[in-house]
Amino acid sequence: MKKIALILFVLISNIVLFAQDNLLQNNYLREGVTLNGRWNYIVDVYESGYYNYRREPHDESENPGAGAYFMNAKPKDKTDRVEYDFDAAPTLLVPGDWNSQKENLYYYEGTLWYKKSFDVPNYDSSKRYYLHFGAVNYFADVYVNGKKLGAHRGGFTPFNFEMSKVLKAKDNFVVVRVDNKRFPDEVPTVSTDWWNYGGITRDVTIYELSQTFIEDYSIQLDKANSKQLKGFTQLNGESKANTQVVVKIPELNISKTYTTDSKGFVEFAIPVKKINKWSDNNPKLYTVSISTDTDKISDKIGFRRIETKGSDILLNGEKVFLKGISIHEENVMRGGRAHSIEDARVLLGWAKELGCNFVRLAHYPHNENMVRLADKMGLLVWEEIPVYWTIDWKNMETYKKAETQLKEAVTRDKNRASVIIWSMANETPQSEERLSFLTNLAKATRALDNTRLITAALEDHPSADDKNIMVIEDKFSDVVDIVSFNQYYGWYGGKIEDLKNIRWEIDIDKPVIISEFGAAALQGFHGDKSTMWTEDNQAYLYEETLPALARIPQFSGVTPWILTDFRSPRRMHDVYQNGYNRKGLISETGNKKKAFYTLQKFYKNLKTQN
């Protein structure tokens, strides 16, 4: 009985210890200590640093021993055997993926251990310390000074753990087990059309916080009343109950004081007489501060309303056409996963040069740099989670993983004015199980945030009666606010010259966004317009597709596929693809193709007509 009790105690302790902490809001503008830089790493193909020879996890043992890599063990003397040494191991840059940094890890999918030693400047034992990760792809187990803080799954959303109880002023070390293997029951699943970059791909930061601090907040323009701001604040700490919270927006002469309830939560509504609304033409941001006696945060927030009326999208009550482009999170010139504010400036700068007021961040939540910069630049944003192609629709655990990623994305970006659309999925095959899965995601999203629009990238197909008529027959279109679909007539079937005869019949009184169309072209390869893989063929498809789409009565926006060429293991033609999806308007070397200027001209003429 004692043995059973001990096992139960260990398991229960692990469940409590390994549970992920609530996500910190606005870490982006908090002052922190970066752990970016060189980290030692060990490739662990057999996962011997995580499991013992009986395939039992070391971190579920009361005495893990030196064989557990997270212990960062050193030989006690010359007779002691330790079969690894982080300090003698090579290094990788964090943030960054391992595939683009090390040639021998280019195709690697599996477990890799990272280790970083660090001190805490001005360490104060009366404070609370959190370790925050912008993203790790895909599984992450996090240990500090040999103690497990927690685990996270999902490759594109942030997470954090408190480490106050295990931290010291000096000689600390953090070890992260990262596993990017693909599994059928994960989100995304085993099959994608982008590179599965493994590693600690975004910033790692230590935050020093008060015993009671501002954990979360939201402040947005009231969906029902444009002369009122609505929001909430959530405190964390023993003194969170009955605490005064001060909300200030100096430019609007707002200074309001509220008192939290027993759970440290308070909702508020603030009347505003006149407000300069954020838009793509006027990206106005207000400085908003929220403070208590022990904590203060400041944010830059824009206030705007986004809604639909019939087949129109309304921004602040005015019809807006979404001139967009789809974007993958890759650095074009350097290669690998994009992660810096400079990467974001390049990508969004190109979108602006195209004439875009809208970007679709595919097919997963991008770095917070992207949406923060979009706020400043006046770019409207579509965000989505990687519910992509064939998900395990019947698996409730898979649904929970998707919902968790959705919640983490909404939590992080709910105060970003640029984000106007949450997308539930991309190109998913229809079934009743899929409909239930996506409908529940939409319900969960609206419960979290009712101020933005819901969509998903659906698919079209020819009518059974007339091959020149394309239709959308998807029950999920009844759930969404915007009907979006991907179409590749002229590339995946059909001839470009026949596009002038194609029409889309969509019997739905909702706005329509064409979320993808395009053709692949090898930059620098030219020929006649009918020759596949040429820049001329790609431009020809754009020239014929754009007017055809513009004939759709509900046509409210378009995000062609895609801004830049990006890596994909599915694209293996050695002459034209060489491991890249070539549908980009810009090559992997940063050179613009002919179709870039075709789309640019189309958007310029749209502006003239409006």
The residues spanned by each domain of the chain are 19-209, 224-304, 317-609
How far does Cα 285 stand from its chain's mean position? 22
Q: Centre a 10 Å sphere on the Cβ of residue 455 and count the other Cβ atoms it contains.
A: 27
- 264 burial via Cβ count (<10 Å: 0-12, 13-18, 19+): buried
Distance CA 336, CA 329 (A): 9
- 75 burial via Cβ count (<10 Å: 0-12, 13-18, 19+): exposed
Distance CA 535, CA 576 (A): 12
What integer best gives the mean pLDDT of the chain? 94
CATH for 19-209, among 2.60.120.260, 1.10.10.10, 3.30.300.30, 3.40.1000.10? 2.60.120.260
Element (H or E) spanning 543, and its range? helix 535-550
Share of the chain above pLDDT 90, in %: 92
- Position 83: which residue type? E
Core vs surface per residue 173-189: b (16+ CB within 10 A) or e: bbbbbbbbeeeeebbbb
pLDDT tens digit string along 485-512?
A: 999 999 999 999 999 999 999 999 999 9
pLDDT of 6 above 80: no
pLDDT of 482 above 80: yes
Which strand ranges, in their side-by-side order, compose the sheet holding 213-221?
213-221, 228-236, 265-271
Distance CA 472, CA 340 (A): 38
Which residues lie closer than 8 Å to 377 by C-beta, 6 or more apart?
283, 348, 352
Angle at CA of residue 589, ends 583 and 593, nearest 5°: 45
Element (H or E) spanning 537, and its range? helix 535-550
Mean pLDDT value of segment 346-359: 98
Q: What is the C-alpha radius of gyration for the chain, rounded to an integer number of angstroms?
A: 25
* Superfamily of segment(s) 317-609: Glycosidases (3.20.20.80)
pLDDT of 149 above 80: yes
96: left (phi over 0), alpha (psi -120 to 50) or beta: left
pLDDT at residue 16, as a whole number? 36
Kindly give the residue spans of alpha helices, DSSP state H, lying in 368-510.
368-377, 396-413, 432-448
Whether 277 and 303 have beta carbons less than 8 Å apart is answered as yes
Residue whose C-alpha is closest to residue 111's, from 58, 43, 9: 43
Residue whose C-alpha is closest to residue 144's, from 174, 119, 177, 114: 174
Distance CA 354, CA 352 (A): 5
pLDDT tens digit string along 127-145?
A: 999 999 999 999 999 999 9
Mean pLDDT value of segment 514-528: 98
More confident residue, 443 or 332: 443
pLDDT class of 607 with cuts at 50, 70, 90? low
HEC states along 188-201?
CCCCCCCCCCCEEC
Residue located via tokens 């994909």: 568
More confident residue, 471 or 1: 471
- The two tokens of residue 453 are 């629009």
pLDDT of 3 above 90: no
pLDDT tens digit string along 162-221?
A: 999 999 999 999 999 999 999 999 999 999 999 999 999 999 999 999 999 999 999 999
Mean pLDDT value of segment 317-341: 94
pLDDT at residue 390, as a whole number? 92
pLDDT at residue 26, as a whole number? 87
DSSP string, 581-592: E---SB-TTSPB
pLDDT tens digit string along 10-37?
A: 333 333 334 468 999 988 899 999 999 9
Distance CA 279, CA 393 (A): 37
- The two tokens of residue 95 are 């943030």
Give Dmax (Cα) for the chain: 82
Distance CA 349, CA 374 (A): 10
Whether 370 and 390 have beta carbons less than 8 Å apart is answered as no
* Superfamily of segment(s) 224-304: Immunoglobulins (2.60.40.10)
Mean pLDDT value of segment 258-265: 98
pLDDT of 610 above 50: no
Residue whose C-alpha is closest to residue 420's, from 296, 283, 585: 283
pLDDT of 4 above 80: no
pLDDT of 46 above 70: yes
Beta bridge partners of 380: 358
